[in-house]
């Protein structure tokens, strides 16, 4: 079956809210009369997330995938690689409901004239460290690739599968922040991009898994992997051009 939309949702220790989040996304997309499915990727949660996901076992629209813990980025990539096989559009969102499904219609209605629609986190509350890292990431993408995406790591993004499929083939499975790289490549390749503000609220349940020193270390890893990915992708494109010539 070919879906109009596949939603990729990475999940880690969200047993308190995941049933409500998945049901709200299901109901919202159904109301929009979209032929969709949701890939709920449980990244080795240590709480009762897997048990809660069993409640959707009879729902053919929500596919629960329980996997060993590999981290947020690799989990997103796993979802992307499966989603692009049989969906025209791929949408990624987080499972903490910081950016709710009620705003998705705005992105969906604009999709026909664009290749990627990014939900920019509006009203986001960040400490100085996270603000600095966000600013640095945006500058890095601008100079390594090109400008065009306002919020390069937004977890609320809608992308044409035909474009995403060609990008992720060159991104290693262990990449910490693949969305940053994907944003840069989409901008560099000159695809049609729309940035739309989407209200953001702080999480109401669970805890933030990356804090303080670990946050800065993770940012360093993400930057280094972005540089490596850029070189690999450019090299791949160069080789392809030579092959065609």
The per-type count for the chain, helices as H runs and strands as E runs, is: 8, 7
- pLDDT (0 to 100) of residue 79: 98
Nearest C-alpha neighbor of 4 from the set 32, 34, 44, 38: 34
Under a CB-based contact definition with an 8 Å cutoff, are residues 171 and 229 in contact?
yes
Rounded to whole angstroms, how far apart are CA atoms 85 and 101?
Answer: 24
Neighbours of 169 (CB within 10 A): 11
pTM above the 0.85 mark? no
Nearest by Cα to 68 from 157, 140, 139, 173: 173
pLDDT above 70 (res 41): yes
Of 100-104, 184-188, 191-195, 233-237, the one with minimum mean pLDDT is 233-237
φ, ψ (nearest 5 deg) of residue 222: -60, -40
- Do residues 21 and 55 make contact, with C-beta atoms less than 8 angstroms apart? no
Q: What is the pLDDT of residue 243?
A: 40
* Domain residue spans of the chain: 3-244
Which pLDDT score is estimated for 104?
Answer: 98
Question: Any idea which of 78-87, 97-106, 121-130 has the lowest mean pLDDT?
Answer: 121-130
Token pair for 15: 């047993």
- Cα separation, 89 vs 97, whole angstroms: 21
CB atoms closer than 10 angstroms to residue 138? 17
138 band by pLDDT with thresholds 50, 70 and 90: low
Give the CATH number of domain 3-244: 3.90.550.10
- pLDDT at residue 245, as a whole number: 37
| Coil vs helix vs strand at 89 | strand
pLDDT band at 149 (very low <50, low <70, confident <90, very high): confident
Residue 51 — pLDDT band, cuts 50, 70, 90? very high
pLDDT at 82: 98
Distance between CA atoms of residues 115 and 189, nearest Å: 11
């Amino acid at each position: 079956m070919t879906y109009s939309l596949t939603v990729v949702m990475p999940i880690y220790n969200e047993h308190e809210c995941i049933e409500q989040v998945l049901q709200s996304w299901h109901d919202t997309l159904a109301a929009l009369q979209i032929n969709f499915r949701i890939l709920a990727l449980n990244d080795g949660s240590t709480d009762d997330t897997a048990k809660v996901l069993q409640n959707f076992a009879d729902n053919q629209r929500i596919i629960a995938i329980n996997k060993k813990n590999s981290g947020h980025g690799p989990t997103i990539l796993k979802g992307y690689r499966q989603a692009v096989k049989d969906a025209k559009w791929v949408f990624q969102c987080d499972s903490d409901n910081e950016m709710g499904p009620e705003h998705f219609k705005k992105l969906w209605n604009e999709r026909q004239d664009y290749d990627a629609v990014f939900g920019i986190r509006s009203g986001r509350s960040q400490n100085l460290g996270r603000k600095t890292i966000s600013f640095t990431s945006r500058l890095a993408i601008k100079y390594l690739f090109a400008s065009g995406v306002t919020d390069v790591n937004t977890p609320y993004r809608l992308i044409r599968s035909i474009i995403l499929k060609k990008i992720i083939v060159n991104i290693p499975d262990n990449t910490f922040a693949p969305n940053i790289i994907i944003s840069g490549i989409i901008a560099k390749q000159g695809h049609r991009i729309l940035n739309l503000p989407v209200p953001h609220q702080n999480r109401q349940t669970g805890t933030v898994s990356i804090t303080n020193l670990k946050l800065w270390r993770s940012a360093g890893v993400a930057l280094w992997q972005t540089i490596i990915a850029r070189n690999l992708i450019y090299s791949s494109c160069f080789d392809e051009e030579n092959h065609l010539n």
